[in-house]
Structure 1
Amino acid sequence: MDNKKVKDLVDEALELNKSLFLIDLSISVNNKIQVVVDGDNGVPLSECIRISRNVEHNLDREEEDFSLEVTTPDIAHPLSEKRQYIKNIGRILKVKTAEQEFEGTLAEADQDKIILQWKAREPKPIGKGKITVEKTVTLEYKDIKEAKVKIVF
């Protein structure tokens, strides 16, 4: 299976809806094509079907048999694109760097970095007891090893 041809067909389908973007494209040795797309405002099922049809109708099953799956990233899938961070502003993220782990609300995201905020209980500077303080950390994308959206019930 020609990886470039499949990618071109997916890109062609994504051109029709600029709010969608490719997360992952893989083709296994037995020609199982997996396409993972996300969108700035989510991805309706109709868009997955449209992308699937664009790929399927332009590949010849007589030439090479294949299976095709077009999906959106599931909740266990880590964030990988800057657009995904921007889309998730206001949600709680669990972010791992080489040195430590952070969990907080994604306050800002731009092309270079993200800003997480959370509340923590710390001992009072004077006297007994604890106070609640606001914590903030700025992380550059290059320092992030993994980031996942945390679902709160």
Structure 2
Amino acid sequence: MEFRKKIEELLNEFLDTRKDLFLIDLKFSAGDDITVILDGDSGVTLQDCLDASRAVEFNMDREEHDFSLQVMSAGLSEPLVTPRQFNKNLGRDIEVLLTDSSEIEGELSKVDDEKITLILRYRKPKEVGKGKVDVEEEKEIPYSEIKKALVAIKF
């Protein structure tokens, strides 16, 4: 069996036993350095990463094919890419870069298989008189229009 296919198969077998975890990315370098990025509905622990690593390493023969394996969790700096990741972050503020290069920041309020919905909160000038008024609106964004989405980190 081809090396990459075998790694993918072992990883999928592990993930079948852990329905709370899901694969975000699987990268192979030219020198067979493998990077696995996992996420979970309730986060990813160090033990989860160790278990995934063992599921692959213990079933591969390094004498037959030498490789290095790194298993990690998707950090805050990793973009949100799957509906499951967006769903996990409901209620949080996210920053979205759209395919037209515009940016939107808002609270993630709804997620489905085609789009996300953000609650945008901002102030705009009153139509009559001086001052500003608070505005809250919902904006639906199809996944096809999202270039990159990150959880907004506020201090």
Provide Cα deviations, 1:3-34, integer angstroms capped at 9, x if missing partner.
Answer: 11100000011111111111111111111111
* Paired position in structure 2 for 1:12: 13
SS at match of 2:123: strand
1:134 pairs with 116, 133, 136, which one?
136
CA distance in 2, matches of 1:118, 1:75: 21
Moved over 3 A (4+): none
Deviation of 1:118 after TM superposition, in Å, equals 2.4
Unaligned 5+ runs, structure 1: none
2:117 pairs with 115, 118, 130, which one?
115
CA distance in 1, matches of 2:12, 2:61: 18
* Paired position in structure 1 for 2:78: 77
SS at match of 2:85: helix
CA distance in 1, matches of 2:79, 2:44: 17
CA distance in 1, matches of 2:66, 2:81: 30
* Structure 2 letter corresponding to 1:108: K
* Structure 2 letter corresponding to 1:93: I
CA distance in 2, matches of 1:4, 1:65: 15
SS at match of 2:107: strand
SS at match of 1:145: strand
Alignment of 1:3-82 (within 5 A): 3-82=4-83
The 8 Å contact of residues 120 and 139 in structure 2, kept in 1 or not, is answered as no
Provide Cα deviations, 1:18-74, integer angstroms capped at 9, x if missing partner.
Answer: 111111111111111111111111112111111100100111111121111000112
TM-score (norm 1): 0.96
TM-score (norm 2): 0.94
CA distance in 2, matches of 1:47, 1:22: 12
Tell me the matched-pair count.
153
* Structure 2 letter corresponding to 1:27: F
Deviation of 1:98 after TM superposition, in Å, equals 2.2
* Paired position in structure 2 for 1:94: 95
RMSD over aligned CA atoms reads 1.1
Deviation of 1:101 after TM superposition, in Å, equals 1.1
Seq. identity, %: 45
